[in-house]
Amino acid sequence: MERVLGPGCRPLVAHWGCGASLFGKAALTRRVMKAAGVPAARTVSVGDELRDLDVARTLGLDFIAVAWGYTAPARFAGLPGVRLCDTPHALRAVLTG
């Protein structure tokens, strides 16, 4: 992620959870949230797959979809509660408010 978003993103992200197995994303996300001591209401999930969205919804997290990755951006377009960022710059802008 840092390679894509640039070195300036490090202060924006307190805990990273990448590389989960096909069925381990929810468990990984729970572990990261527990380690961070952050409740779902203060957690944002960023993903490039529909299963990332499914995990976010299951755990009650806000979700930001990115247009570079496994799922075609059109699959995220128009889904309720989903922000879609087309570029790393757009994602940084959303994360920094």
Q: Does domain 1-6+41-97 have CATH number 3.20.19.10?
A: no
Conformational region of residue 69, where left means phi above 0, alpha means psi within -120 to 50, and beta covers everything else: left
Give the pLDDT score at 75: 96
Q: Which residues contact 6 (CB under 8 A, 6 or more apart)?
A: 88, 92
Confidence band for 32, pLDDT divided at 50, 70 and 90: confident
Q: What is the reported pTM?
A: 0.80
Give the pLDDT score at 23: 66
Domain boundaries defined on the chain: 1-6+41-97
Highest mean pLDDT, choosing among 26-30, 66-70, 82-86, 90-94: 82-86
